[in-house]
Amino acid sequence: MGGHIDWRNRYVVALAGILVVGATLRLYGLGVESIWVDEAITLRFVENHGPLELLWVIPSEQPHLPPYYVFLDVWVAAFGTDATAVRFPSAVFGIVSLPLLYLLGRKLFDRTTGLVATLVFAVAPFQLYYAQETRMYSLWTMLTLVSFLTFLRLRRQPTRRLAAGYGTATLSTAAVHPFGLFVLLTQGLVSVCDRLSAGDVLGVDELTTLERAQAVCWGLLAPVLVLGFLKLDTAVAGFDFISPPGPGRVVGTVVEYFTTAAGTAELAVCLLVAVGVALALRSRPVGRDRRLLVVWALVPILGLVAVSYLVTPLFWDRYTVTAAPAWVLLAVRGFTSLDRDRLGLGIERRHVGYALAGLLVVAIVPATAHYHTTEGKEQWDEAVPDLESAAESGDVVLVIDRAGLSAFDYYRTRRDVTVRPVHAGLGPNGSYVTPNATLRNMTDGHDRVWLVLTHLWFLPGERRRMLDVVNESRQVVRHRQYNSIEVYLLANRTQRQS
């Protein structure tokens, strides 16, 4: 009977169990940690602008396109801005990604590969983090999986309906994040490789349905590419804190797809992933399905490396999230590809493969436990209430830049203190963005000044500069440290600590 689920099938039961585990890990403690600056900036846009305004505000002020913001605006209007509410869609996107990855693994290889890859994906802290963040990365991952699923189906069953579905999913990846272009680039390179391996001569009249769909996607994205090129300077402004990636950082990003642990656990995961990928690529020639995974695994990463050296450093782990499913599938396929030949003592190769896959999951779990038992985000939910409980009417609060101010305002309840953003670092002309004289003008006439410092790890000396300027006629009477945030109270030397 159509649509009937055979619960006696062990694969169905195993997949259901993995989905329960993955959903639990994504929903558990969803609103426990504080909203942090990136989330607060996102919410500031949706709170200050309506859906239609976002269509032009986001492209003009953010290096993104507006669809996710428009969706979030509608969601917030219905469910509010509570941390759990605004993160819930990301959790759902993360949960939906799990069966999509299973289907992809099954379609590329077999059900066992799909199941094991889904289990790794379900417990990986990298995926949990973005499934519990009010940003577009979980949605982007889900759309990437849909795009590759429709890509595979269209490659094997060329129909207009599938072509339309493929085009919609693939264009959506680029609409959610600019580096979604790497999804289309990956699939285009795979199509070219397929032709070359078959010895076909490329001709416009001989394009397949898939290739025509890809051509249409590039045509529709052309205006976006032109616009992005024209506003390139403003789009990359503010990313000077990212350094050009070296080989160690690139490898570390791949390992991060599986674990965020350090030391022995990280080394174990690194070795297991390397063994899995080597096993997946050991046979020659490499089939087109494995070739697809290799290209998919490399293009988003190497593309960002190229952008970082040719344009401006933009290599950040979250900008490579679309490559994570390919690395998981590659590593797992290496383990599940071992055949039934015996190694001796009654041990079959496949049992060794299952053991290696099990070891990979076991090596990941400590990092998963650490993720759910340790504060990882900036603790604005503690810093702001603590400051407000000790502040006096008329105090002035200086918060590092507008990003920090967005997070501060999310938790702010008092309006009898003056809150102003100050900017750290040097401008294009070599002078301080917020000069010493401006800092003095901001604090003149105030006996008590609060400094809220965050994101100064890439600006050595700025903490000391700001403290010295405000400290000229005052002294530190209170200092509190939170995760990624420091709060100072400086008061006239005649005052005592509050």
Is 211 found in the same domain as 152?
A: yes
pLDDT of residue 489 exceeding 80: yes
Task: Give the model's pLDDT for residue 339.
Answer: 72
Nearest to 312 by CA among 244, 234, 229: 244
Task: Give the model's pLDDT for residue 227.
Answer: 72
360-406: pLDDT as tens digits: 999 999 999 999 999 999 999 999 999 999 999 999 999 988 889 99
Last residue of a domain, one of 314, 340, 373: 373
Is 356 found in the same domain as 210?
A: yes
The answer to whether residue 4 sits within a structural domain is no
Is 427 found in the same domain as 401?
A: yes
The answer to whether residue 54 sits within a structural domain is no
Is 171 found in the same domain as 217?
A: yes
Is 444 found in the same domain as 317?
A: no
pLDDT band at 479 (very low <50, low <70, confident <90, very high): very high
The whole domain housing 366 covers: 10-31+82-373
Is 326 found in the same domain as 193?
A: yes
pLDDT band at 8 (very low <50, low <70, confident <90, very high): low
Tell me how far CA of residue 454 lies from CA of 384, 397, 398, 425, in angstroms: 13, 14, 11, 13
Most confident of 90-99, 425-434, 464-473: 90-99
Task: Give the model's pLDDT for residue 320.
Answer: 96
Is 275 found in the same domain as 188?
A: yes
Is 399 found in the same domain as 288?
A: no
The answer to whether residue 77 sits within a structural domain is no
Answer with the residue of higher pLDDT: 282 or 19: 19
159-194: pLDDT as tens digits: 999 999 999 999 999 999 999 999 999 999 999 988
The answer to whether residue 74 sits within a structural domain is no
The mean pLDDT value of the chain amounts to: 90
302-356: pLDDT as tens digits: 999 999 998 888 899 999 999 999 999 999 999 999 875 455 445 678 888 999 9
The answer to whether residue 46 sits within a structural domain is no
CB-CB contact of 140 with 69 (8 Å): no
Is 311 found in the same domain as 211?
A: yes
The answer to whether residue 52 sits within a structural domain is no
The answer to whether residue 65 sits within a structural domain is no
Last residue of a domain, one of 311, 345, 373: 373
Is 389 found in the same domain as 350?
A: no
Nearest to 125 by CA among 30, 261, 326: 261
33-60: pLDDT as tens digits: 999 999 999 999 999 999 999 999 998 8
Task: Give the model's pLDDT for residue 223.
Answer: 84
Is 391 found in the same domain as 346?
A: no
197-212: pLDDT as tens digits: 877 665 555 788 999 9
The answer to whether residue 242 sits within a structural domain is yes
Is 312 found in the same domain as 434?
A: no
Last residue of a domain, one of 337, 354, 373: 373
Count how many domains the chain has: 2
Cα(74)–Cα(1) distance, integer angstroms? 39
SS3 letters across the chain: CCCCCCCCCHHHHHHHHHHHHHHHHHHCCCCCCCCCHHHHHHHHHHHHCCHHHHHHHHHHHCCCCCHHHHHHHHHHHHHCCCHHHHHHHHHHHHHHHHHHHHHHHHHHCCHHHHHHHHHHHHHCHHHHHHCCCCCCHHHHHHHHHHHHHHHHHHHHCCCHHHHHHHHHHHHHHHHHCHHHHHHHHHHHHHHHHHHHHHCCCCCHHHCCHHHHHHHHHHHHHHHHHHHHHHCHHHHCCCCCCCCCCCHHHHHHHHHHCCCCCCCHHHHHHHHHHHHHHHHHCCCCCCCHHHHHHHHHHHHHHHHHHHHHHHCCCCCCHHHHHHHHHHHHHHHHHHHHCCCCCEEECCEEHHHHHHHHHHHHHHHHHHHHHHHHHCCCCCCHHHHHHHHHHHCCCCCEEEEEHHHHHHHHHHHCCCCCCEEEEECCCECCCCCECCCHHHHHHHHCCCCEEEEEEECCCCCCCHHHHHHHHHCCCEEEEEEEEECCEEEEEEEECCCCCC
